[in-house]
Amino acid sequence: MRQQNLIVIGNGMVGHHFLEQLAESGQADGFHVTVLGEERHIAYDRVHLSEYFQGKSADDLAFSTADQYAQWGVELRLNTAATAIDREARTLTLDNGETLPYDKLVLATGSYPFVPPIEGNDREDCLVYRTLDDLDAIREAASRSNTGVVVGGGLLGLEAANALRELDLDTAVVEFAPRLMPVQVDEEGGGILREKIEELGVQVLTGRATQRIEAGTNARHQMVFQDDRLLETDLVVFSAGIRPRDELARDAGLTMGERGGVVIDDHCRTSDPDVLAIGEVALWNDSIFGLVGPGYQMAKAALDTLTGGDRAFTGADMSTKLKLMGVDVGAIGDAHGNQNPGARFYRYTNGIAQEYRKLVVSADGKQLLGAMLVGDNSYYDTLLQYALNGLELPDNPESLILPASEGGAPALGVDALPETAGICSCHNVTKGDIVQYVHDGYTSVGDVKAATKAGTGCGGCAGQLKEIVDHEMAALGMEVDNSVCEHFQYTRQELEHIIRVEGIHDFHTLLKNHGHGLGCDICKPAVASILASTWNDYVLNPEHVGLQDTNDTFLANMQKDGTFSVVPRVAGGEITPDKLITLGEVAKEFGLYTKITGGQRVDLFGAKLNDLPSIWQRLVDAGFETGHAYGKALRTVKSCVGSTWCRYGVQDSVQLAIDLEHRYKGIRAPHKIKFGVSGCTRECAEAQSKDFGVIATENGWNLYVAGNGGMRPRHADLFAQDLDTDSLIRFVDRLMMLYIRTADRLQRTARWLENLEGGLDYVYDVVVNDSLGIAEDLDNQMARLIENYQCEWKTTLEDPDKLKRFRQMINDDGDDPYVVSVEEREQPRPATAEEKLERIPAVSV
């Protein structure tokens, strides 16, 4: 039987998913498949595109490889565009003039970024945010820019703004609508969203229509708005929406929508039954679906159509759970209440915590029609299940959006969900699917994820997936294994309890009494961290040194070229001129690269291992201490100048920052900890993005907990208000000890609080009200850790035996000849591989 020629035009997320489903269907032998991709990159994850600016490469984001496509029997053509479809001859013309015959054609051409028809929109460094090549262009332009503006305040616009912000540009967002994300949030939610975005340092300009872009006076561009107001910027990124890539279909005479898009039926067929369309180019029931989940469902329906099945695409849930610049935004169903006459509304607003929640319910109050969340998405999963499954609401629906302390309802348990409950909308996986896989012997989240693909799309269902897997395993009498590793059948929390209660001070004793085997690279550092958090012993004592990872072993962070960084403590960011001079002299003497960090310290990079003792001797003699940048410990307490200098300051933030840093320095924890102290609500120290944040008020201090930046930013939660200094410190002591005792291995405070049963209300009750009766014990443990503090470098320098480890080679005190640096911007940097070849002499044999 002759293979049919199947051509897929488009190698984006949806096009790739179609090919993946075909390969897994067992029916690929019936087709000779060719896929065309206009980009030079194989299909990659556009949902996490912004992570490209956080260090991920094109290969990291790629869904597959050319080898995988070859194994599937798919002919992959990248850097190739289709220019014309001849439906009568059933051929496809490519941009190189080649003609390919087809029997079936799948249009997965996706969309393109809409650039408003503004005069000057084609000026240099006016770019779009859509592909990896676009991001490369933005990065290059940002390298010679100081300011950037994003035109468009929707989902993609805020992602683009975050990218510019991470590229260290002063960033602004210009939105034509009166609020940010007008599709997802209403006026009140938009107001809170705006506040949170502006607090991150991004200027927000709403209700602005750009008339033209022209040459600027102090920057490359000048944006002129409809009211003749001006905004100067070096870089403009357009992210004002998308339009379907439908020109091929239009030119081929296929039926189109009035405003674009290829019309398809329930089986993804266009007006030509041999041509199918999926993803953002397809118009179904007068709707274009701009999310990946509906595109994946179309891909499955299209495959069924081609292979004789009857799966239909009947629409998709467009609910979204997002985290933009660390700000939670969620929209479920009819979030605005526009589609249901007679709908009733419940709203919850917390201006201090900057949270907004809205319920849209039926006229009889029995059904959830929609919901809107800004600032806290922890309510999302429960509300989504009420909406998707038609579950009857409780008698007091408002309880679903109230905090527990105000009578809020508990989260919807797994048992309350029907088997048909949709868990992963991207891959159309139900609770019943997950349960069945567990019954079939898939006994870990990873196994179920691999089998169902749940959690691999947008990732929003990951938490609920784990909850269902664990719940079902427990129901079957199977052990839900959260052990640290195979050598200890305990969680980190259980090991911490054993060490503390039994007074165990070393790994060998713990392993002998409660483990087996020799230990591994997982349990050894975990136990080392617990021992340090409990007793605060010197980490290079003989019984501890073998447990440490590389950084702790050498009391410095190893860099990519094998050298180390030196980071002395600069408490609260306050430093004397003499100490600054010392840092400069040390950097010059040892040829170090110097950089001011975001945490108000000075990093000295490029130190050779054998130079570390000499460098630290100079620093210790000058009054410096180790900054513990190498450890899972307190890193910094960032501060503004406070009431001492600033005319807005209401409290002495510098003094408090110094006191906090000296109090908690050296205390090991499950992960690194950062503080921030701001002297007023202008928040110059960015305290609300820290693990522990303190903001001054006229009456004292507001304490925030569990914020962090990084790859999964989280805004800190307000814990207590208007505290005096003694109460503040007492609560921080207890919070830190509770975190140390109960967090998982390598778990930041943000994830700890998110996963902690009872959440913030539970923590408040334990810390403030002493509901567990452990407050005194927490206070005493903190006091013991503070009493046992030592500067690890000072202790090391006083022990000649410890200094022996700081050698490049066992029997040689000299430098490593393969550590090579070159000068750039008047400072040293690691040489590239090519530069090393030029500088390292060849060895003759």
Please report the DSSP string for 485-522 in residue order.
BTTB-S-HHHHHHHHHHHT--SHHHHHHHH--SS--TT
> Alpha helices of 48-106 — where are they, by DSSP H?
58-61, 66-72
Q: Is the dihedral of CA 243, 249, 251, 256 positive or negative?
A: negative
Task: Please name which of 398, 438, 396, 435 lies closest in space to residue 419, comparing C-alpha atoms.
Answer: 435
Binding residue ranges for [4Fe-4S] cluster: 640, 646, 680, 684
CATH superfamily of 317-412: FAD/NAD-linked reductase, C-terminal dimerisation domain (3.30.390.30)
Cβ(555)–Cβ(792) below 8 Å: yes
Neighbours of 64 (CB within 10 A): 19
Would you tell me which CATH number, out of the four given (3.40.50.300, 1.10.10.60, 3.20.20.80, 3.50.50.60), belongs to the domain 4-112+244-306?
A: 3.50.50.60
Whole-number pLDDT of residue 214: 95
Query: pLDDT, tens digit, for every residue of 566-593?
Result: 999 999 999 999 999 999 999 999 999 9
Which of the four pLDDT bands, split at 50, 70 and 90, describes residue 843?
very low
Q: Please, what's the b/e burial string for 795-806 (b: 16 or more CB within 10 A of its CB; e: otherwise)?
A: bbbeeeebeebb
Query: pLDDT, tens digit, for every residue of 627-639?
Result: 999 899 999 999 9
Q: Which of 20-34, 88-102, 412-426 has the lowest mean pLDDT?
A: 412-426
Give me the amino acid identity at 746. L
What does residue 272 show for φ and ψ, rounded to 5 degrees? -105, 115
Rg of the chain, C-alpha, whole Å: 29
Query: pLDDT, tens digit, for every residue of 683-692?
Result: 999 999 999 9
- The mean of the pLDDT values for the chain is 88
CA distances from 161 to 129, 147, 279, 389 (A): 10, 11, 26, 36
- Looking at residues 359-381, what average pLDDT do you find? 91
Q: What percent of the chain has pLDDT over 70?
A: 94
Q: Which CATH topology does 126-240 take?
A: FAD/NAD(P)-binding domain (3.50.50)
Q: Is the fold of 4-112+244-306 the same as that of 126-240?
A: yes
414-478: CATH number: 1.10.10.1100
Q: Which residues have C-beta within 8 Å of that of residue 702, sequence separation ≥ 6?
A: 694, 695, 696, 718, 720, 721, 722, 723
Domain locations in the chain? Answer: 4-112+244-306, 126-240, 317-412, 414-478, 492-548, 557-787
- What is the DSSP pairing of strand 422-424 with strand 429-430? antiparallel
Supply the DSSP string of 661-681, one letter for each residue: HHHHTT-B-SS-EEEEEESST
Q: Is the pLDDT of residue 561 over 90?
A: no
Q: Which CATH topology does 557-787 take?
A: Sulfite Reductase Hemoprotein; domain 1 (3.30.413)
Neighbours of 196 (CB within 10 A): 23
pTM score: 0.58
- What is the DSSP pairing of strand 221-225 with strand 210-215? antiparallel
Query: pLDDT, tens digit, for every residue of 284-310?
Result: 999 999 888 899 999 999 999 999 988
Rounded Cα–Cα distance for residues 470 and 478 (Å): 9
Binding residue ranges: 640, 646, 680, 684
Which residue do the tokens 């020109």 mark? 247
Binding residue ranges for siroheme: 684
Round to the nearest angstrom and report the end-to-end CA distance of the chain. Answer: 62
Max Cα–Cα distance, the chain, nearest Å: 89
Q: Which residues have C-beta within 8 Å of that of residue 201, sequence separation ≥ 6?
A: 165, 170, 171
Whole-number pLDDT of residue 842: 46
Supply the DSSP string of 314-362, one letter for each residue: ------EEEEETTEEEEEEESTTS-SSTT-EEEEEEETTTTEEEEEEE-
